[in-house]
């Protein structure tokens, strides 16, 4: 069985990661409550108990309170740090009295952001730092200088990006001594296309088409870990009844339920297992704080190993409402 790129580098063997965007409470400047810290602690415990040891943050999540809540958990049990791989992201800035909502990959902003992240998380270093979405004004030389300073100071061990294409990755790496090891993309059963045939259909439906331009192959060839954010598609195939489904999505929801019954597993495991079945060894980032949902996702590892080629394509074709070839 092919190893995950991160596993090849000896960083982690955690096939799933827990996304921490939901920690901390509301997206405002209100103080962090003890209840939110307890909620975070329960989610972290649930993740670790199911073998999830990788945790994904960003400095903007709940206006910094997500990292603060996580840091409070680590303060209460410092030994947990050595069981974890912690990554965070920076580069997005909300509208303020200086300017509108924007991206900022300046050296000053990256360095300041990391210092603030480490303080909130109550840790000495990040295992991985990601640039949060592309910045049109990115100066690759400046990013490289920031990364070099963070690496030499011991504050960050590895670096990656999110939502970037092949050209953007190659531009950054041309100025760096470091290799980018992660690319985090929006991916789910109804939000990714692997073939050219479905491009026009999926563009009309507003679906992502990341992998028709060679990005998947580039990441696989260079051992860049593809991480999938929003891998459960807001739960439309696994219990969320508040979203109006297209005809193809409704049919796919029935198919997911049928497969879950046949394989004696959860709906989440089928949806995640489909992504993880791909030979790129995609690592889903679970965006939930629900303890039961975290546990229900754990069987995705087994499902990814037993899902047949025919079952994979059955879900793929159903979710798009098109036939192949």
In this structure, what DSSP letter does residue 297 have? H
Phi, psi (rounded to 5 degrees) for 305? -85, -20
Strand pairing category for 92-93 and 102-103: antiparallel
Longest dimension (CA), the chain: 56
Q: How many CA atoms lie within 13 A of 174 on its CB side?
A: 8
The Cα–Cα gap between 125 and 115 comes to 9
Judge whether 145 and 106 are in contact, CB under 8 Å: no
Residue 302 CA to residue 281 CA, distance in Å, equals: 13
Cβ pair 295, 52 in contact under 8 A:
no
276 contacts 284 by C-beta, under 8 angstroms: yes
**Rounded-to-integer distance, Cα 63 and Cα 135, Å:** 20
CA dist 43 and 80 (Å) reads: 13
Rg over CA atoms, the chain: 19
Quote the CA–CA distance of 269 and 52 in Å, as a whole number: 14
Report the alpha-carbon distance of residue 259 to residue 296 in Å, rounded: 15
In whole angstroms, what is the distance from residue 262 CA to residue 211 CA?
A: 31
61, 103, 313, 316: which is the annotated catalytic residue? Answer: 61
Residue 63 CA to residue 26 CA, distance in Å, equals: 8
Q: Which residues on adjacent β-strands are paired with residue 66?
A: none
Residue 30 tokens, joined = 């209100």
Concerning whether 61 is annotated as a catalytic residue, the answer is yes
Q: Catalytic site residues? A: 61
């Amino acid at each position: 069985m092919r190893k995950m790129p991160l596993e090849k580098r000896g960083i982690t063997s955690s096939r799933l990661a827990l996304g921490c965007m939901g920690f901390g409470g509301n997206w405002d400047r209100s103080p962090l409550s003890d209840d939110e810290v307890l909620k975070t602690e329960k989610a972290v415990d649930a993740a670790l108990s199911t073998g999830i040891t990788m945790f994904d943050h960003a400095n903007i999540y709940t206006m910094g309170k997500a990292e603060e809540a996580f840091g409070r958990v680590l303060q209460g049990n410092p030994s947990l740090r050595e069981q974890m791989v912690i990554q965070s992201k920076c580069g997005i800035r909300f509208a303020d009295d200086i300017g509108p909502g924007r991206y900022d990959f300046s050296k000053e902003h990256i360095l300041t952001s990391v210092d603030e992240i480490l303080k909130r998380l109550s840790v000495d270093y990040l295992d991985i730092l990601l640039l949060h979405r592309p910045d049109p004004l990115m100066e690759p030389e400046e990013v490289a200088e920031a990364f070099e300073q963070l690496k030499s100071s011991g504050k960050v061990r590895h670096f990656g990006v999110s939502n970037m294409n092949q050209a953007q990755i190659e531009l950054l790496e041309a100025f760096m001594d470091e290799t980018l090891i992660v690319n985090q993309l929006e991916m789910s059963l109804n939000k990714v296309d692997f073939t050219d045939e479905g491009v026009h259909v999926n563009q009309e439906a507003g679906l992502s088409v990341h992998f028709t331009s060679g990005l998947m192959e580039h990441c696989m060839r260079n051992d860049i870990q593809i991480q999938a954010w929003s891998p459960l598609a807001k739960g439309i195939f696994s219990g969320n009844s508040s979203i109006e489904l297209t005809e193809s999505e409704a049919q796919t929801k029935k198919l997911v339920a049928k497969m879950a019954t046949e394989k004696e597993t959860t709906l989440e495991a089928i949806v995640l297992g489909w992504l993880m079945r791909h030979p790129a060894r995609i690592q889903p980032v679970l965006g939930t704080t629900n303890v039961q949902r975290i546990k229900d996702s754990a069987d995705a590892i087994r499902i990814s190993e037993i899902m047949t080629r025919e079952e994979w394509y059955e879900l793929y074709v159903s979710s798009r409402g098109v036939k192949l070839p």
